[in-house]
With several copies, the nearest count.
Chain A
Amino acid sequence: MSYRPQVIDHLVRPRNVGELAEPDGSGESGDAACGDIARFSVGVRENVLAEVRYKVYGCAACIAAGSALAELVEGEGLLEAARRSRADLEDALGGPLPEGKEHALTLVVDALHKAFEDYWDRLAGEVLVEGYRGADG
């Protein structure tokens, strides 16, 4: 079992690390009790993913996958970014991860998707609230 150079590069120089102070959406995946955990926060401007930040606790593959995913989607249109698959992420990491490490792709893609859902939920809430207000006002 050994990692490609692209993975190691993302591991030791991870891109987009951190958390947005005022995110438009954020999501977490994984098992807080003992497994790997990934957290993404996103900032959206005019349907573009303007800012992506992530944090990961977990194996090297998880950290690298988070970094590669954040790099991949930052600046993309929201729907484009939401369509990014595990396969795209694999490509960004130079190819398949070592056997037994594939879960890293799922972990970070899930966390990003949850951040999008959160964004849409908030948006929907806002729209609803707006609509409600509108109906009301």
Chain B
Amino acid sequence: MESRVYLDHAATTPLDGRVRDALVSHLGEPRANPSSLHGLGTAAREVVEEAREAVARLTGASPREILFTGGGTESDALAVLGLARAAVAADPARRHLVVSAVEHSAVRKAAEHLESTGYRVTWLGVDGHGLVDPRELSQALRPETALAAVMWANNEVGTVQPVEELARVCREQEVPFHCDAVQAVGHLPVDVTEVPVSTLAFTGHKFYGPSGVGALYVRDGVELAPVSFGGGQERGLRSGTEDVAGIAALGAAARLAAGEREEWARRERELRDRLVRGATAIPGVELNGHPAERLPNNAHLAVEGVEAESLVLFCDASGYAIGKGSACASAGEPAGGEHKASPVLAAMGQDERRAFSAVRVTVGKDNTPEEIDGFLEAFSGAVAQLRELSPLYAGRG
């Protein structure tokens, strides 16, 4: 395979070399189970607890408020299902959820699952930029609302929600508020002392950390029902032998992010702006999502007359790895490969054709301006070629 420039950081970031070193240093012998009584077990437990402190520090949490999980999806599921079941256990009438229409499938499908088991869900709409309106959230809350869920920043279009206001609305009405911060942590300042979320999900592989390890912040006093069962690790909320090396690596990533996030974001923003300027100079290419309230690394581009899959593969053939703009409703599920856009762009009022014309280009701290310029050249060439191919772009291509 030819060498490639990676511009798909929203899908997963590279592993930072320093995090890799931390991970590798924990892969050496001896390995022990943190639940073991002997000294090696105790040492493994200490590694886990040190990582917990680092992760807590990154987000303004106390260590005891941080749970380690198997990833972002699991963190989201534990929060949504756990909050819902705790609420209904306390009061059987509390079977109502408020969930934004632009959630990642991890939250959306957990809510849909609850819906199929008798919960009612109010789906919160968004404006053309993908923003949830705090007043709408406030109006949607009811005495029987078990939880509300709005993500910190959208994984497709990059729009950053007014989470502080949203969380305050929920706090005032005493409704638990779950926030999926998988795309935000390590890229934006995320501080649970400022934003009164009840639970907050994130994962290492989106900010230069390990994959296969996630975290869930659970504010002191917030009740969560367990959704898995076993040895009772992680306060009984996530059983299973801890992946000590992976957890240590998440701790290392958190320490890096705490120190360097601002610098990363500055670089990401510069590269992203360069990219957006260049791309939107091509006729018929527009930026989706909010122009200002967006992730520093995200450029989501609607490309008139072109279908995203082909454009991604064209760019790939020129050495640039970018993403489709609309996550398949059934990504990764080979049997269900129907051509169906995710609900995000639909919720923003875009038609299917425009949804399918969008690509997501997400930069990283280690990309260079030269790479962006090279990409822009390849991109405009690909767009021109595909338009020439298109029966819809007649007269112009």
Consider the complex of A and B and state whether they touch directly, i.e. have CB atoms less than 8 Å apart.
yes
Which residues of A are found within 8 Å of B377, using beta-carbon distances? Answer: none
Q: Given A8, A14, A32, A98, which contacts B389 in the complex, CB threshold below 8 Å? A: A14
Decide: A56 and B389 in contact? CB cutoff 8 A.
yes
Which of B217-225, B262-270, B331-339, B361-369 lies at the binding interface? Answer: B331-339
- Near B by CB (< 8 A), chain A positions 14-28 give 14, 17-18, 28
Count of chain B residues near A, Cβ 8 A: 30
CA distance A121 to B391 in the complex (A): 23
What is the chain B residue whose CB lies nearest that of A101?
Answer: B337
Question: Given A8-B317, A59-B309: A99 and B337 within 8 A (CB)?
Answer: yes
Measured between alpha carbons, how far is A39 from B356 in the docked complex, in Å? 19
Point out the residues of chain A lying under 8 angstroms from B334, CB to CB.
1, 98-100
**Shortest Cβ distance from A34 into chain B, in angstroms?**
4
Can you list 10 A-B contacts with CB-CB less than 8 angstroms, sorted by A residue number? A11-B310, A11-B313, A12-B313, A14-B389, A17-B389, A35-B339, A55-B389, A56-B391, A59-B339, A63-B310
The answer to whether the Cβ of B300 comes within 8 Å of any Cβ in the partner chain is no
Residue of A35, A55, A101 near B391 (CB, 8 A) is A55
Q: Which residues does chain A contribute within 8 Å of B310, judged by CB atoms?
A: 11, 58-60, 63
Query: Is B314 on the interface with A (CB-CB < 8 A)?
Result: yes
Query: Of B46, B317, B352, which contacts A34 at CB under 8 A?
Result: B352
- Asked if B307 is at the interface of the complex by the 8 Å CB criterion, the answer is yes
B314 near A12 with CB under 8 A, answer yes
Are A57 and B392 in contact (CB-based, < 8 A)?
A: yes
B353, CB-defined interface residue at 8 Å: yes
Q: Are the C-beta atoms of B335 and A17 separated by less than 8 Å? A: no
Listed in ascending order, the chain A residues whose CB lies under 8 Å from chain B are 1-3, 8, 11-12, 14, 17-18, 28, 32-39, 55-60, 63, 98-101
Given contacts A8-B313, A11-B313, A57-B307, contact A39 B391 (CB under 8 A): yes
Given A11-B314, A12-B313, A34-B351, verify A100-B337 contact (CB < 8 Å). Answer: yes
Q: Name the B residues within 8 Å of A98 (CB-CB).
A: 334, 337
User: Are B313 and A60 in contact, with the CB atoms below 8 A?
Assistant: yes
Within the complex, which residue of B46, B336, B388 is in contact with A17, where a contact is CB–CB below 8 Å?
B388
B45 close to A (CB within 8 Å): yes
Given contacts A18-B388, A36-B339, could you give 6 more A-B pairs where the C-beta distance is less than 8 Å? A3-B313, A11-B314, A34-B356, A57-B305, A57-B307, A100-B337
Check B390 for interface membership: any CB of A closer than 8 A: yes
Return the contact of B390 from the options A1, A3, A34, A57 (Cβ within 8 A).
A57
Given contacts A2-B45, A3-B313, contact A55 B390 (CB under 8 A): yes
Task: Tell me if B33 is interfacial: C-beta within 8 Å of chain A.
Answer: no
A18 CA to B317 CA in the complex, in Å?
A: 22
Most chain A CB within 10 A, of B41, B336, B389, is at: B389
Q: Which 9 A-B pairs have the closest CB atoms?
A: A100-B337, A2-B42, A34-B352, A55-B391, A12-B317, A39-B391, A57-B390, A59-B309, A60-B310
Interface centre among A33, A38, A56 (most CB of B within 10 A): A56
Contacts of B337 in A (CB 8 A): 1, 98-101
Q: Kindly name the residue among A32, A57, A100 whose own CB sees the greatest number of chain B CB atoms within 10 A.
A: A57
Chain B residue with Cβ nearest A111: B391
Most A C-beta atoms less than 10 A away, residue of B37, B307, B317, B393: B307
B335: A residues at CB distance < 8 A? 99-100
Point out the residues of chain B lying under 8 angstroms from A59, CB to CB.
307, 309-310, 339
Query: How near does chain B come to A37, taking the closest CB pair, in angstroms?
Result: 5
Closest Cβ of chain A to B320, distance in Å, is 13
Q: B276: shortest Cβ distance to chain A, in Å?
A: 25
Q: Taking the nearest CB of chain A, how far is it from the CB of B329, in angstroms?
A: 12
Cα A11 to Cα B313 in complex, Å, equals 8
Q: How far is the CB of A106 from chain B (nearest CB, A)?
A: 13
Which residues from chain B contact A100 at a C-beta distance below 8 Å?
Answer: 334-338
List residues of B (90-109) whose CB comes within 8 Å of A's CBs: none
For the complex, give the distance between the alpha carbons of A100 and B340 in Å: 11
Cα–Cα, bound, A123→B388 (Å): 30
B336: shortest Cβ distance to chain A, in Å?
7
Q: Which residues of A contact B386 (CB under 8 A)?
A: 63
Q: How far is the CB of A97 from chain B (nearest CB, A)?
A: 10
Contact between A56 and B314, CB atoms less than 8 A apart: no
Which residue of the partner chain B has the closest CB to A11?
A: B313
Q: How far is the CA of A32 from the CA of B351 in the complex (A)?
A: 13
